A and B are shown apart, each in its own frame.
Chain A
Amino acid sequence: MSPDRPLPDSRAEYDEAFWRGAAEGRLLVQECADCGARQLHPRPGCRSCGSGELGWLEAEGVGEVYAHTVIRRATEHPWFADEVPYVVAMVELPEGPSLWTTVVDCPPEAVEIGMPVEVTFEAVAEGIALPLFRPR
């Protein structure tokens, strides 16, 4: 039996907009209406002031690699076994927050800290797209 691909398919009310945005090709970050702080991943409250008044800001869709790895063994999620070697990276957005993602469209060894990247969306299931990044 082949393993299932891990999917972001169990919505909480407070992060439904993030995934709807991704499916529409838009990268959204949470922005606090009270203190202006921005955050990812989405949460029901603001990490800076505790406010529940959180809105959404569409990010420009560019960023820089903050840290990265090349996965050599799918030790936890066997679905990815045929994908190795591939990159897992934390990408920092100019809007402030960072996200865990992958860098595609280049050899894994070419990825380095500080590398400029831009978002690209990959549809992985009906109504579900992942924000991935590629060299800019």
Chain B
Amino acid sequence: MFDDAVIAAIGETEKSRPSPDDDQPFSDLEEYFRMATAETLADAGLELSAVDGLGVARPSTETPYRYPLMVADAIGLADLEWLTTTDHCGGQAVPLLAQAAMAVDAGVAETILCLGADVPKRPDRGSGEIFPRDPRGLQREYKDPFGVQGTNAEVALVQNRHAERFGTNPEELGRLYVAQRRHAAANPLAYFDEEVDLDAYLGSAPIADPVRLFDCVIPVNAGFGALVTTPERAEELGADPVSIAGVGHNHCPTVPDDRRLTSIGMAPAARRAFAAAGLDPLEADFYQLYDDYPIVVAIEMEELGLYEAGEAGRFLAETGFGIDGEVPLNTGGGQLCAGQAGVAGGFLQLLEAVRQLRGEGGDRQVPGAERGIVTGIGGVSANYDGVLAANSVMVVERGWAA
């Protein structure tokens, strides 16, 4: 899709969950951006001065205005030929990388660093207390006062409606979680390092019926980076490049009345990405799908075209989601099991895709991975009479075809 841009390097920090009872390492937000930068540049074998463009995924934690400039200053970047930001909530890694690829492809800048970081937890405050509310609008005025407990409650209604409409049950959804926990156990950068079985999933604490504790992501602090540059520059660096074969978006989508709450409106984004890449979605080698909840992953898989509407139960019960299965899913553990770094969470999916295509998946490597799908979802999946969401789908491919 982009004739003159590739992903040449990636960086990802370890995850931590500091709390009053757990003395885990804690760093300020800008320090996560700096660490992610150092990891990414080390992967590329580049000096900071070689970076001439910066893209910053806006964190959920309160930040001053002109924040991308502050990040550039904090990490020591100067004389940038291109600077941008995304503000798409959790799914913004895909649109940020797409923006960077467009800028490199157009010749606006040559070597663009894309960063995402968030500190949803501080030693003295949990994630729910850190995320600031909207100053006004849907969440602040029309959900919170009624006791809607953020996305956990919203997705509970999604799962409730999906069960009513399609019969989807927790035993089926739990298979997604169990597979991802196994992948996390094989990922040194994942928060969880032990597998669990279906009984542990089913027995996890009720949060908002039918949503359980293991339906919810594990909030962590982390930083992520990805470097987009020209194929020529990537070759000079001796990088193992990954190309973007297709990308599609569908923001603030509409869905049919009879699919309210059971559709997120990702299908048009998927069609655009697959058409650009010439990919049959069933033929991808892996699926790094934005996983704020298993039910959301199940809906995404329908909208990507992996099964027909109404077949969710059979599909979830019969498909293999491990690295040797038909649908290798979130091979690094995903946000459910590797951890969700606030609204930088979607970077996890993108960076794991790059690792798989470079053959760096270790014990969780999908053999012979050549092409894979990455998704991002931001915003709020369930609105009053619309879907307030940012959907992104990207097809990534090993090497450089042109």
A39 to B385, CA, bound (A): 7
Q: Do A71 and B208 have beta carbons less than 8 Å apart? A: yes
Q: Given A88-B146, A99-B384: A73 and B208 within 8 A (CB)?
A: yes
What chain B residues lie within 8 Å of A8 (beta carbons)? 140-142, 145
A60 to B400, CA, bound (A): 62
CB-CB contacts of B174-215 with A at 8 A, as 1s and 0s? 000000000000000000000000000000011111110000
State which of B133, B141, B149 has its C-beta within 8 Å of the C-beta of A75.
B149
Q: Given A10-B141, A69-B208, A75-B207: A47 and B160 within 8 A (CB)?
A: no
Q: Do B386 and A77 have beta carbons less than 8 Å apart? A: no
* Residue of B whose beta carbon sits closest to that of A125: B145
Q: Do A102 and B138 have beta carbons less than 8 Å apart? A: no
What chain B residues lie within 8 Å of A15 (beta carbons)? 141
- Count A-B contacts at CB 8 Å: 125
B135 CB within 8 Å of chain A = yes
Q: Do A100 and B143 have beta carbons less than 8 Å apart? A: yes
State which of A7, A83, A97 has its C-beta within 8 Å of the C-beta of B385.
A97
CB-CB contacts of A58-81 with B at 8 A, as 1s and 0s? 000000001111111111111010
Number of A residues near B (Cβ < 8 Å) is: 42
Number of B residues near A (Cβ < 8 Å) is: 41
A115 CB within 8 Å of chain B = no
CB-CB contacts of A96-109 with B at 8 A, as 1s and 0s? 11111110000000
Q: Do B152 and A88 have beta carbons less than 8 Å apart? A: no
B124 CB within 8 Å of chain A = no
Q: How far is the CB of A47 from chain B (nearest CB, A)?
A: 6
Q: Do B208 and A70 have beta carbons less than 8 Å apart? A: yes
What chain B residues lie within 8 Å of A6 (beta carbons)? 133, 140, 144-145
Q: Do A88 and B128 have beta carbons less than 8 Å apart? A: no
What chain B residues lie within 8 Å of A90 (beta carbons)? 157, 261, 382
* Residue of A whose beta carbon sits closest to that of B162: A67
Q: Do B147 and A41 have beta carbons less than 8 Å apart? A: no
A67 to B142, CA, bound (A): 16
What chain B residues lie within 8 Å of A99 (beta carbons)? 142, 384
What chain A residues lie within 8 Å of B141 (beta carbons)? 8, 10, 15, 41
A57 CB within 8 Å of chain B = no
What chain B residues lie within 8 Å of A12 (beta carbons)? 136-137
A11 to B136, CA, bound (A): 7
Q: Do B161 and A71 have beta carbons less than 8 Å apart? A: no
What chain B residues lie within 8 Å of A68 (beta carbons)? 157, 160
What chain A residues lie within 8 Å of B136 (beta carbons)? 10-12
Q: Do A10 and B135 have beta carbons less than 8 Å apart? A: yes
Interface of A toward B, CB cutoff 8 Å? 5-8, 10-12, 15, 39-41, 47, 66-78, 80, 83, 86, 88-90, 96-102, 113, 124, 130, 132
Q: Please, could you name 10 A-B residue pairs with CB atoms under 8 Å apart, sorted by A?
A: A40-B142, A66-B161, A69-B153, A69-B157, A76-B128, A83-B147, A88-B147, A88-B153, A124-B145, A130-B146
